[in-house]
A = this chain, B = another copy of it.
Amino acid sequence: MSLAVEEAKKAAAIGEVPIGAIIVYKDEVIAKAFNLRETTQNATTHAELIAIQEACAKIGSWRLEETTLYVTLEPCPMCAGAILQSRIPRVVYGARDAKAGCVDSLYRLLNDNRFNHICEVTEGVLAEECGSLLTQFFRNLRAQKKNQKRV
């Protein structure tokens, strides 16, 4: 998870909401990514989705069996859906997302046996660090906007 936190910091450094993701396949990191929505102006470029695409390319299959996804924030519906689509067996996340989280907060999409895949989920790993990156980012953003208004 500390590698995912490093990715999230790279996002913050370029003004992106700091969320990072890592995919591990048989003890090897095969994908690293951070949120790039503003840079790319592409709504699908969340950290998890970029990492899943990278991992599929690396493994050469849409089935990401024997992988674990580490992500700093609880996945949104799009990313939770992409986790199901790619059959990732294990997901570890940091902080909960009370507004859009679809693993535990609003829905439990990764644990619904009506879908053709179910994940093993671990939450709360480095949760404080993952969450405070986000809190700090938005605090700075608000301060900047306030300063801009003054100028």
Contact check: which of B56, B87, B102 meets A81 at CB < 8 Å?
Answer: B102
| Chain A residues within CB distance 8 Å of chain B | 37-38, 40-46, 49, 52-53, 56-57, 60-64, 76-82, 84-87, 99-100, 102, 106-107, 109, 112, 114-116
Complexed CA–CA distance, A77 and B53 (Å): 17
Beta-carbon nearest neighbor of A79 in chain B: B81
What is the interface of chain A mostly: helix, strand, loop, or mixed? loop
Given the interface pairs A76-B81, A77-B81, the reply to whether A116 lies near B102 with Cβ below 8 Å is: no
Contacts A41-B56, A57-B42; A106 near B114 (Cβ below 8 A):
yes
| Complex Cα spacing A62 to B62, Å | 25
